[in-house]
Amino acid sequence: MKVKILGSGCANCNKLEKNTIDALKDLNIDYEIEHVKDYEKIMGYGVMKTPALVVDEKVIISGRVSKKDEIKNLIKNYS
């Protein structure tokens, strides 16, 4: 699974990244993670507000920090 965190590297972006990693570990899913900070690339996903979570090139969270359990549910429903 390819996972991207979109955002400048602010505290909220880093928190979303940590929660996402924790969720993926709980689900025992192999993943590659990338933190995308380039605004041009972020805009390419149609994201207007960060942080955002992208799984296999699909935006599943945008504009907020989600808790680990919500991320787990979204990923389970996605895969």
Enumerate the active-site residues. Answer: 10, 13
Alpha-helical segments (H) within 1-79: 11-27, 39-44, 68-78
Neighbours of 6 (CB within 10 A): 27
Backbone angles phi, psi at 34, to 5 degrees: -140, 135
| 46 SS3 class | coil
